[in-house]
A and B are shown apart, each in its own frame.
Chain A
Amino acid sequence: MTKKSNLRANLATAVLISIASILHVFEGLLPPLPVPGAKLGLANIASLIGLRMLGFGSAIVISLTRCFIGALFGSGLFGPSFYLSLAGSLSSAIAMGLASKIKGIGNKNIVVSVVGALTHSTAQIVVASFLLSHQGIWWYLPYLLGLSSITGVFIGIASDKLLVYLPRAIGLEPQSKS
């Protein structure tokens, strides 16, 4: 991807941050999944799109910022839930960055998204086992990984579709007319 103008890139990052924050909050309003605490990972769409359009740095910035903003809307900064979501989204952004470098399959959004989702659950279980000081929580890891794999596929498909239209809509691709 060629280097875009700085202003365009910053604007796009800002738009993606706001999309991510809204999805983060919206997700909390949805009815719960069968595993307590599990989520769809909708906000990851924005990180994945940021990774594809603007690169690794933007993906990290988007996931970090949406954790802070999401916490302000939710249960507050620096509470246990904040650390859980921070650990999850930061580690999944890093994992997606690495996965996108894999030769052959790194260009597939589905693969990158599933890798991100699996990392997200694993990181959250690790942090939660410390927060709760209860190792029985590891029983939930297969469930969470299974759900992540499935939701990751759909998040990947959604990103595929969005990446066809969104870059043009927020002015990151050369416009075809005018």
Chain B
Amino acid sequence: MQQKKKQDWILILAFLALGAGLIFGGKFFMGLREAEEGLKANIYELTSDGRKLLESFTLKEGEQAVYEFHGKLGVTVVEIDGLKARVRSSPCPDQVCVQFGWLQFHDDFAACLPNSMIVVLEGDGVGY
């Protein structure tokens, strides 16, 4: 019994350590990405056969823009502010797209599956 308890604790600690390691490791690798010049915030509609580019904003210091995506659920508002972009509001129930927050790096994205849209920061570089 004592042996079993000990084994369990070792397992628990090992999995917790693995989890923490993966999270910090992931953070570390994401932190390695460098800011890129001339990124574009591309807004796509998700269709059954891939995605369709609707609008493309080149991110520039000091420039602001708002784009309204009209999807099947309603209007998703995309905000461009200088070198970053985000989904400001969305009609979807889970609000996952808003939780992505500000996008700044190559390949950063905010997706809204219920309203079938995705914002991706893309540029000429290779990214991932």
Contacts and interface: CB of A to CB of B under 8 A. Distances in A.
A134 B25 contact: no
A141 B110 CA distance: 15
Most A CB contacts (10 A, CB to CB) among B22, B109, B111, B114 go to B22
Interface stretch (A2-10, A54-62, A73-81, A169-177): A73-81
Interface residues of A, number: 38
12 contacts: A80-B116, A105-B11, A114-B15, A132-B51, A133-B50, A134-B111, A136-B107, A142-B25, A146-B20, A146-B24, A152-B15, A153-B16
B68 interface: no
B100 A36 contact: yes
Given A36-B100, A133-B51, A148-B19, A84 B127 contact: no
Interface of A: 28, 32, 36-37, 74-75, 79-81, 84, 105, 108, 110-111, 114, 128, 131-143, 145-150, 152-153, 157
A28 B94 contact: yes
A136 B50 contact: no
Contacts of B127: 136
